[in-house]
Structure 1
Amino acid sequence: MAFWLFKTEPDVFSIDDLCKFGKADWEGVRNYQARNFLRDQVAINDQVFIYHSSCKIPAIAGIATVIKDAHPDPTQFDHSSPYFDAKASKTDPRWYQVSVKFDQKFIKPITLSQLKSDSNLDDFQLTKKGSRLSIIPLDEGHWNYIIDTYLIKF
């Protein structure tokens, strides 16, 4: 099992949307490095932090689990989609997606400012200046530290 952070803009698709639908295809990734992670490394049962970006308070909002390996993202073939790619073909797809299921919404999201101010996360990819990838691999140590440090325990 591996650990990931998937970024999403909550006005497009949020942890609440994932909760409502129960599962979703993680579509629309249009960065080659992020695509390669999805296509070549993300696997069934991997754990995912769902991170809300490009919003008032960027934060890790919850957790999902990968339930289906990489498969071609159909939005690349849809002329009406903002993710359409004229260079993609069904015989040679350029973009991939995985499917995830909702696991948990955090009562209190873990904000980017909290993560940046934590010296134990100085080497955490998300907190590095210029980190723009929509799919970020995490090491198990970072995953466990964030869970143990920031989640409210009952």
Structure 2
Amino acid sequence: MTDHAERIVAARSAIDYICGRSDKEQAVPVPNCPGWTVYNAASHIGRVGIASQEMISSAPDDPQSRERGYERSGRKPAGAPMADLAAWAHSPVDGLVDDPDRRCYFSMTGGEGTARLWAWHAASELGMHRLDVEAALGHEHSMTSAQALDAADPIRG
């Protein structure tokens, strides 16, 4: 199984890769995400980062944190620069390094979660978006076999 620290490194690396694309690369369509360009993938991870930060910082029994988070992300202007999108995406990941067992709200289960569970989700979700962008740009895939197995099955990974 990939450990907590490795998941955080993988999530940060995926953010940096996706949000580090040139202006020309940002305009490239992402076939695995119909209708999206590389910029749209970066915008997605940035905006979801805002919503995730709200949930990660909320108590496990606070289901309104999801709605608050998505409401906050919707207030951000369209066309944000890549640096802003990267900062938004990094914010929740940065909030996972304190105590892996810290309890918080987890949107995927609709209740109790931990920073460790969020780190797994971040590494998996961001890793998949990175694979999509790598494929769109014709870059070699960077996800290791261990990361792919962990993304599919965090218990056995």
Give TM class, smaller chain: under 0.3
Structure number having the greater strand percentage: 1
Q: What TM-score, normalized to structure 2?
A: 0.25
Q: What TM-score, normalized to structure 1?
A: 0.25
Structure number having the greater helix percentage: 2
